[in-house]
Amino acid sequence: MLLCLTANHRNASLDVLERLSVGAPTATRALVQDEIFVSGAVVLATCSRFEAYLDIDEPLTGGEAVAVESVVEAMAQASDVSPDLLRASVAVHQGADAAAHLFAVTSGLESVVVGEDEISGQVRRALEDARTDGLTSGELERLFQKATHTSRGVRNRTQLRGAHRSLVRLALELASSRVADWAAARIVLVGTGRYAARTVDALRARGAGDVHVFSPSGRAEGFAVQRGLLPVADFAAAAAQADVVITCTADAVVHADAFVPGRRMLVIDLGLPRNVDPAVGEVAGVELLDLETIRLHAPLEEFSAHTDARAIVGDAATEFAADREAGPAITALRGEVLKVVDDEIARARARGAGDDVEAALRHLAGVLLHKPSVRIRELAVEGRIDDVRGALELLHGLSVEIPGAGDDELWATA
């Protein structure tokens, strides 16, 4: 059973998202390693959402709620959030609903800036991290691969293609009312990761050229050389001369004492957890633009999702659920046919037949199985998997258990 717990810009405060991004990954790792009912987990934490996708062994009747409560309590404890607050701040999706949600997320349809072009890479890296930690399962691998495929379909078949929307660009659009001329602005960038690289690209698209980079971990020089920037070793000294400071790093928190009171400056915090202490916004002359402010000003109408993109996501979710239902039936049919083929190969070898006879029989079996396998998937998509089960029992005497539990949403808050 697939289970998704999601907290995002629509249903959770930035504080809850921040706490989850720090503590919940540890909780999911412990659930996989210690709990017998959790066989895999992938955690996606970005600046505007936290998602935990779990592969849970099919529970006993009525056990779904127990599984959800166990996960919520573990994450609440690890994140220092009360279970009641966490329940009020997350939506829980199960089965096909979890798949549909991930496909929409990966396609950028659930982002602060709908259609953003960064989330698909973040989803891919979340799966890679889970693989590295040994936390994935076959079902989660299939789910996330389908999500990536769906995202490509949305990009290639809808007007969202090539839109180059991102939270960074939205932040700079909002900041443009405070920055008269980006080309004349002195900018200090804190961070050297992928998000920092995206930020550099977005700044240059607006004409910024005087960009300095600071890295709490000491990687500023290499990052600066690669991108034609100016590295700085002393953040406070650089900030004292800056017009704009942009933070996007996981390595540091900037405090108020790093800024000179009275000097006009714009600080943009793109980090989660926060890179900038909220007290910075109280320093005289300093204006703080953080994720909370950015998401409140997202131009929802301009970036609204297209109906055809939603349709692609819906079709993909239906196909994913149908493939899961069709799998046992196809496996049972293949097993029956290949058993007959193996018996015939054994008899042929007893009569002196060579490898060419075995190859021919196996090829014939593959040809004969192809069309029924395709038709089983088609019937599953049409919601006629019971017809498949009846046909296999009638024609082959096969009793097939079709996975049907876990397709309803347990509970959700929006």
Q: How far apart are CA 90 and CA 305, in angstroms?
A: 22
| Residue 64 per-residue DSSP state | H
CB 26 within 8 A of CB 80: no
Alpha helices in 56-179 (DSSP H): 64-79, 83-89, 96-106, 119-132, 138-157, 167-175
CA end-to-end span of the chain: 22
CB 105 within 8 A of CB 123: yes
Active-site choice (47, 90, 267, 361): 47
List of residues 6+ apart from 192 with CB closer than 8 A: 213, 215, 217, 219, 220, 222, 223, 249
CB 130 within 8 A of CB 53: no
Q: How far apart are CA 411 and CA 241, in angstroms?
A: 51
List of residues 6+ apart from 138 with CB closer than 8 A: none
Of 410, 391, 411, 413, nearest to 402 by C-alpha is 391
Query: With the C-alpha atoms ordered 205, 206, 208, 211, is the resulting torsion angle positive or negative?
Result: negative
Q: How far apart are CA 385 and CA 402, in angstroms?
A: 8
**Residue 319, token pair as written in the block:** 């196909």
47 is an active site residue: yes
- List, in sequence order, every beta strand (DSSP E) within 203-350: 210-214, 230-231, 244-247, 265-269, 286-289
| Residue 354 per-residue DSSP state | -
Backbone angles phi, psi at 336, to 5 degrees: -65, -50
Catalytic site residues? 47
